[in-house]
């Protein structure tokens, strides 16, 4: 039996070095919770329910600024989409980001640098009363948002897609 993490990569019949992927474990969400995987590289994200179904996918066009700024804008967009969704009053929300600065600012708002303080305070007040957490995840665990980001690289307009399943 072969290990899926060491399968050879075959492109157009040409075998190359085995693709070595980090071993990542997925822990399912509990019923009544949602997860937003976000990627600030392209201001995009995907909202997933506890059974793994995608509910919202978004990707916005933006002028490139530094990583923490785009990640914060992405988290803010995810929070806004959640707040105005039909799930806001009945579900808890986990936002997964690979930007340690942004995650730490949400977890400890007083440690936020002054240049980001207003944006963090705005996000926190927007979702006051909602059960939400912003958590740090390795880039490898944020696969859906990473794929979304890579597909967005050559696109010049944003999109939003919402399912009401």
- Which residue ranges make up each domain of the chain? 24-162
Which of helix, strand or coil describes residue 95?
Answer: strand
| Per-residue pLDDT band at 22 (split at 50, 70, 90) | low
Fold of 24-162: Nucleotidyltransferase; domain 5 (3.30.420)
What's the pLDDT score for residue 40? 80
Q: Which of 73, 55, 82, 75 is nearest to 162 (CA)?
A: 55
Concatenated DSSP letters of 132-163: EEEEE--GGG-HHHHHHHHHHTT--S-EEEE-
Per-residue pLDDT of 32-87, as tens digits, reads 999 998 888 778 888 888 888 888 888 777 666 788 898 999 999 999 989 888 88
CA atoms of 150 and 32, how far apart (whole Å): 30
Which of helix, strand or coil describes residue 79?
Answer: helix
Q: Which residue has the tokens 């006051």?
A: 128
Per-residue pLDDT of 102-122, as tens digits, reads 999 999 999 999 999 999 999
What's the pLDDT score for residue 29? 84
What's the pLDDT score for residue 5? 42
CA atoms within 13 A on the CB side of 4: 3
């Amino acid at each position: 039996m072969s290990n899926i993490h060491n399968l050879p990569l075959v492109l157009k019949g040409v075998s190359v070095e085995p693709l070595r992927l980090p071993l990542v474990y997925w822990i399912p969400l509990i019923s009544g919770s949602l997860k937003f995987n976000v990627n600030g590289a392209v201001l995009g994200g995907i909202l997933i329910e506890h059974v793994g179904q995608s509910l919202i996918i978004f990707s916005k066009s933006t002028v490139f600024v530094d990583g923490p700024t785009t990640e914060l804008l992405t988290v803010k967009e995810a929070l806004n989409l959640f707040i105005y969704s039909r799930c806001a009053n009945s579900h808890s929300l986990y936002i997964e980001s690979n930007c340690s600065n942004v995650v730490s600012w949400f977890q400890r708002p007083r440690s936020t640098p002054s240049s980001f303080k207003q944006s963090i305070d705005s996000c926190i007040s927007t979702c006051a009363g909602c059960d939400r957490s912003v958590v740090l995840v390795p880039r490898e665990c944020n696969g859906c948002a990473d794929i979304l980001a890579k597909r967005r690289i050559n696109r010049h307009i944003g999109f939003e897609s919402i399912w009401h399943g």
